[in-house]
Structure 1
């Protein structure tokens, strides 16, 4: 499908579950591909269509311009934040999406854009799920570069990822800037070689951080040929949706 934004025709795929009825409000997950990539590849890699069919939500897969999104450190100069906001508004208006249950997920370049959109399209997305991506780049060091409305975050970082230190620094900065404090008691280890931390922020949003010792720049639990880590004992797709379902948009 296509949507005109800023004088450009932008393309995306949309998956609707069996039994979808436009008159019944439905959650929406927007899934953002890595660089280089496209929405078709994203729909095939990480099992979002299958989960949407079981849980009953829409999934949209936007295409970046020339294979990438204008995120925090890469790629291009398209108004991708504006496009995501426009796509959300379009799907709320024409596909019966519940505006309080709109979520972003992405990997690598798509994960970086999720953080950027959480800040710059504040109020549009209830929560983001970021895999092998981060709150990185020069603009994130500004103290006022934070969401103006609560956006909860779940993120997965492989400690063998060459960007792991940047991702850890970024999520620490996010929590510092939003005045987040650890939730007690600390959660148990989610799998062998992995840790989980949870915090609650001053604005009421939540942050969950999974650190996976054996993983590189990958998606936990995926089994495709690209960017997959099938043997780490976690399925990020399922965990992200569980987190999303528990975090509708806050006032």
Structure 2
């Protein structure tokens, strides 16, 4: 583990040298480090070190090329440590946080903050979680963002894809990633379609709410700035959480999700995902501020569900402003902003044109991401920053 920590630090330095001073400087730095780490007599130049490293940790589909060249050995080592070498002069993409294998025994990430593992248990069961604590945290009250992953995902994957940990360094906040247990759902989906898992004080909502409350107490979170968001099944569960615990969450972010009580069993869940039916009239988010993202080419969860969420959530007489834009060279989108009678933004709907079932603006390090944007993570955080619970 100590060797991994040192090598990761050196690779980051080598990445910076490669960008500023070229491959020669980066290679020299790696050579110096390997010479100090290799057993006596093992060092016979760059190529020998490369062979030794491949013996320790062979790469899949490794090519039998001149690994002593900067074009082979250096990028290979950088890639092993999660640092992607630039192509054709492109900017280096540094990891937002340490790769999964570079984790201390206590579960915290090596850099930049701490990525802690834990679990929560109540009458409804036990769920694991990961909690990102940014470097700016020194015991002061910070906002908390709860992130609910989609099917087949886990907290590490979801954190990587959404880049929320890196954003939490820029805009200090704690980020909680509850983990669905495979024993509860074979595909690790949150069970948004089960009646028991749509009720306050029962099932998975009680676990997620209890976990949220435990983190609030343990880390002195600003209780007025607690938010929840999710993707797909996680987005549907985020709607349930906002509906069931309106006093706990100040705003809800839904990405490619479904409205509250859209289903009560698996067949009705499949129908809802295809866009069938309409939202229950008396099932509403009780005017909790929401931001909704959906792709109009989503073939997994029909984009009509985004409209259904808005129908459930909108306060009466909310004024709407429609804006059209494009995320740089990425997807065009239509953004509908709703304001209450006092002119405060209470809801936003982003319909992203040509996009499917993936987190917009996400990193390819995670699953179900679309890097073309718009940047859903940044936009959600921007929206959350404008929302807080009224002092009681």
TM range (shorter): 0.7 to 0.9
* Aligned partners of 1:175 and 1:201 also within 8 Å: no
| Correspondence for 2:146 among 23, 27, 30 | 30
* Aligned partners of 2:224 and 2:389 also within 8 Å: yes
| Correspondence for 1:229 among 363, 367, 370 | 370
CA shift in 2, pair 1:193/1:12, >3 Å: same
Instruction: Give 1 or 2: higher strand fraction.
Output: 1
Secondary structure of the corresponding residue to residue 131 of structure 2: strand
Partner of 1:102: 226
Partner of 2:88: none
> 1:16 and 1:244 mapped to 2: Cα distance?
18
* Aligned partners of 2:285 and 2:313 also within 8 Å: no
Q: Deviations over 1:188-235 (max 9, x none)?
A: 435462100011357977110001111000111113152111124x11
Q: TM-score, structure 1 length as denominator?
A: 0.88
Q: Deviations over 1:102-147 (max 9, x none)?
A: 0011110100101111101121110111111121514783332123
Give ranges in structure 1 of 5+ residues lacking alignment: none
> 1:119 and 1:99 mapped to 2: Cα distance?
17
Partner of 2:169: 53
> 1:42 and 1:57 mapped to 2: Cα distance?
17
> 2:196 and 2:180 mapped to 1: Cα distance?
9
Partner of 1:143: 281
CA shift in 2, pair 1:180/1:5, >3 Å: farther
Partner of 1:241: 381
Give ranges in structure 2 of 5+ residues lacking alignment: 1-117, 183-187, 265-277
Mapped pair 1:68 → 2:207: no
Partner of 1:209: 349
- Aligned residue pair count: 246
Secondary structure of the corresponding residue to residue 143 of structure 2: strand
Partner of 1:90: 214
CA shift in 2, pair 1:52/1:3, >3 Å: same
Partner of 1:154: 291
Instruction: Give 1 or 2: higher helix fraction.
Output: 2
> 2:305 and 2:180 mapped to 1: Cα distance?
22
- Shift, 1:73, TM fit: 6.5
Secondary structure of the corresponding residue to residue 51 of structure 1: helix
